Every structure is written in C-alpha cells, then in structure tokens.
Amino acid sequence: MRRLNFTSSKALVATGLIAGLAALPACNNREISEVVPNQDKEEFKDIPVELNRDIDILFMIDNSGSMEEEQQSLSTNFPQFINVLQTIEGGLPNVHIGVVSSDVGAGPYNISNCSGNGDNGQLQTQARVAGCTPPTGAYISDVSDGAGGRTTNYTGSLADVFSCIAELGTNGCGFEQHLESVRRALNGSNAFNNGFLRPNAYLAVILIADEDDCSTRDTQMFDTSQNSTSDPLGPLASFRCFEFGVDCTTGNADPRAPGPRSGCFPRENSQYMYGVQEYVDFLKGLKSDPNLIIVGEIVGNPEPVTVGVDPERPQNPALVPSCQSAAGKADPAVRMKFLGDQFPNRNAFTTICNEDLTDGLVLIAQLLKEAIGNPCIEGDLVDKDPNTAGVQPDCVVSDVLNPNTAEQVETALPQCNQAEDNDVNNPPNSTNLPCWHLEIDTDACPETSSNLTLLVERGGASVPTGTHVQAHCVVN
C-alpha cells in the first residue's frame, strides 16, 4: 500500500540522487569509460511534503540544418521518456508539453533561413509527420480528471502526438538563439502560448541542440556587410557566437587564433550577446520556489574547446567539434552547460553525441521523477553495524523549510525506535515522533534491488507549507 500524504501518520520520502544523476554513465561521452569501484557514495533525497503532480515541460529543439538525425531520434525514443514518467508515484503526472524552435531570426539582415524574428518563441503545433494529428491547442495537455481518468487534447498515444509536432525540420536560422527562444516562449509576450505555464507547476526546460546558444541583444551581430577575418565581426558564420559570447581563462588572447582553450565561461559584458545569467534570473523569477525549475540538456560536450578552421573556407576560424558519433557531431555548449549548473539538484546533462537520444531522455525523465517524488532507495545501503541483525543504515534525515533560500530552516529527524522483531516489513513501535525508518514496499519500488522506501512517522501531525524532507544515506 502506498502512502502519499506527508501529514498523515506515515509519509513517503522520495529518493533524490538528483545531484548524482549528472554523474551517471549516460551523462558522459561514451569514449570515457574508466570507473573506480568499491567507493562509498552518498544518495541524496529531496521531496516536498505537499506532493505536486503538475509539471510543464518545454522542449527547445534546435531546427538548424544539422539536426535531422537528432530530431528523428527524439521522436523515436520519446516513449522511453514517457515510460519513466509513468513510474512516478500515482502514475503519469499532470503534464503540459510544449515544443519551441531555436529560430528567432536575425533582425533586418537578409540571411538564408533567418527571416525577421523567426518563430519568435511561439509554441509549435503543426503536424510534421504525414497523416498524424496534432493537439487541439498550443501545447499537449494530459491531466487527471479527478475521477480516475484523464483529460487530454489529443487522440492516440502521448508519444504519437509528441512525435507529430517535434520533428521541426532543418530550415531554421543557423544562428541558434536557444535561450532567447525559451524566454520568449515563457515571458507572456506571445498570446498564442497562454495557458501553457501554470503558476504552481514544476517547469522543466529541456534543451536539445548541437551548437551552443547565440542569444543576441544587438542584431548588428548579424551584419552581412562584414564577412572577412579583417572585419570587426569577422566572417558571417556561427563562430561569431563563440567570439562574442564566451571567454576563456587560458589560450590565445585572439579569439580567432587557432589552438585549444580552457576555463571557458559565458561572457557577461558582451556588446552583442546576452549574458547567460540573465536567463538564469529570468527562469528563477517565474516561480516563488526555485526548486520548481528543472533544466535538462542534451547538447554538445562543453569541453574540449578548440579553435580550428572552417573546412570549407580554411581562411575562416571555426570551432572544432567537442564530440562526434555516427549520429553527428556537436560544438562545445559552454553557455548552455553554465545555465544548467545554476540549478543545483535540478539539472541533468548528457551529450547529444550518443548514437541515439535514449540515454539522455531517460536521464532527464529520471530527474523529473526525482523532483516530483520517487519513494525508492536506489542504492545498496551501507550497513554501519554488521554485528546487528538486519541492515543498519547510515542516513541523516531532516525536515527542511524553504530549502535553497535565505529563509531555510532545517530540523533533524531521529531514526525511529526499532521494532522488537527488527522486521522492516513492520513499522517500529516509535516513541520519538517525528522520526524516520525503512520499509520494504515492492509495489512502490519494484525496480530497485532492495525495494526499500524511507518513511516518516508523524503521528498525524502536520508540517508548515514549504517543508521538504531531505535525506543523505551512504550507499556502496
């Protein structure tokens, strides 16, 4: 039996591992394979006491000329993403799913595929696959009807309707303004998008791209009259986005000079481009609780960063791809990786250079699952007292009010008094409420080796609104 009410006598505490998700093998370029075994690790859990099952998911999909294979892989493997969400406690959450392109144009300049403001952050609902039926609105909606059923605005399966609208094609502007497109999609400037963003829902922004962000404050950045290495803007190519949007601590001071760079980070005082921190502040400003913002990225590896030459125009500088596979190659995503890093415990990164996007989609879906609520202990708990029967977990558990804010207040919870039979299938006879203990729950955690959940005993007491239960457990 699953217990979801954190204010009742028993309360499920979700497994975190959110911070650790970014270190899973799927996050790394598969060329890196060394693993150091037999080291204890910490499993982190974080879940709001008041379960929130509403989540708005915005997919920003690069629609420039090199993204055909990646878009097809996204559509093909999207069912894996949904499969993970369906394992969330209570089943599929109440989702809004929107799709936006990377094309916001290039202002007044006549550049191929870069017309005016492009898609301008408008959610895309056009049927992209022959014979498919798109949703009847600006986005996909699939929410509980409160009576055991679902209210949807599409026919067929959720995976089918997403595939219908997600393959945006490859005719978008080659100066991809990923983050600016996200801002325009969410800032209320486009009435077409109204209703997508719910005030109290989680917001997940998922970026899928093979080039870094080129969000531009001054469209003179795209001046077509400058097109040589002797011009201040340099050749009319996406290298401008690196030159004016990224700084590096080591390497040639001339950004166009060939050679490796290291310590690269977004430039915050660029004449032409927006600093990434501006988009971090924008996203955080959409919610009163920063824990409601989740960022997932399937993009190019942020390292290595190397300036080379354009193979078609050797006189022009170009970034050397930071990763490549049979599915394609990608430039280093320095700016986008920085964005994700500003949402600790709420971000997931994986390379777009995997042969398909399965790993990345599953990783991000797992992150959403952890944020909403996963009652399962994923790791193999370390027994801190092998001489005592059963597993004696090494965990620290707390009630945390307003986590990750200046108003954070943490109250440690003791482990519950042990039951006389020391049986994890039976709750302890606790006299030290509120307290925590472990229990086997094969219904809630069928896919973990231990089937263990962490329960909080409160004896019917409530906790203040905004309280999270956070736990740190030592695992093998």
Residues 6+ apart with CB under 8 A from 225: none
**Cα–Cα distance measured from residue 122 to residue 361, given in angstroms and rounded to the nearest whole number:** 23
Q: Kindly state the average pLDDT of the residues 367-391.
A: 83
**Alpha carbon of residue 88 to chain centroid:** 16
Q: Kindly state the average pLDDT of the residues 35-58.
A: 76
**Cα–Cα distance measured from residue 196 to residue 190, given in angstroms and rounded to the nearest whole number:** 11
With CA atoms as reference, report the closest residue to 460 among 430, 425, 421: 430
Tell me the C-alpha to C-alpha distance, in Å, between residue 195 and each of 99, 100, 218, 281. Answer: 14, 15, 30, 22
**Cα–Cα distance measured from residue 248 to residue 267, given in angstroms and rounded to the nearest whole number:** 9
Residue 321, pLDDT > 50, answer yes
Torsion region of 284: left, alpha or beta (phi above 0 gives left; psi -120 to 50 gives alpha) = alpha
C-alpha dihedral sign at 25, 213, 204, 80: negative
Residue 40, pLDDT > 60, answer yes
With CA atoms as reference, report the closest residue to 127 among 155, 85, 92, 96: 155
Which residue intervals of 168-275 are DSSP H helices? Answer: 178-186, 239-245
Q: For residue 27, what pLDDT band results from cuts at 50, 70 and 90? A: very low
> 264 with 296: CB under 8 angstroms?
no
Per the prediction, the chain carries an average pLDDT of 87
> 327 with 70: CB under 8 angstroms?
yes
pLDDT-wise least confident of 17-21, 36-40, 86-90, 459-463: 17-21
pLDDT of residue 468: 86
- Output the CA torsion 187→190→196→202 (10° steps): -10
Per-residue b or e along 111-150, where b marks 16 or more CB atoms closer than 10 Å to that residue's CB? eebbeeebbbbbbbbeebeeeeebbebbbbbbbbeeeeee
Tokens of 276: 């990434």
**Where in the chain are the domains?**
1-51+375-476, 53-372
DSSP code for 225: T
| pLDDT per residue as tens digits for the range 85-98 | 988 877 899 999 99
**Cα–Cα distance measured from residue 143 to residue 34, given in angstroms and rounded to the nearest whole number:** 43
**Cα–Cα distance measured from residue 343 to residue 287, given in angstroms and rounded to the nearest whole number:** 13
Residues 6+ apart with CB under 8 A from 461: 7, 433, 434
> How much of the chain, in percent, has pLDDT values that exceed 70?
89
Q: How many residues does the chain have?
A: 476
> How much of the chain, in percent, has pLDDT values that exceed 90?
64
pLDDT of residue 112: 93
Does residue 160 sit in helix, strand or coil? helix
| pLDDT per residue as tens digits for the range 127-183 | 999 999 999 999 999 999 989 899 999 999 999 999 999 999 999 999 999 999 999
The CATH code belonging to domain 53-372 is: 3.40.50.410
Highest mean pLDDT among 67-81, 374-388, 458-472: 67-81
Q: For residue 389, what pLDDT band results from cuts at 50, 70 and 90? A: confident
| pLDDT per residue as tens digits for the range 400-451 | 998 878 889 999 999 998 655 455 555 667 888 999 988 888 777 777 788 8
Residue 83, pLDDT > 70, answer yes
Tokens of 179: 């983050």
pLDDT of residue 409: 93
Report pTM.
0.80
Residues 6+ apart with CB under 8 A from 15: 43, 45, 370, 374, 375, 376, 377, 378, 454
Name the amino acid, one letter, at 240. Answer: R
Residues 6+ apart with CB under 8 A from 421: none
Residue 276, pLDDT > 90, answer yes
pLDDT of residue 402: 85
With CA atoms as reference, report the closest residue to 402 among 394, 393, 411: 411
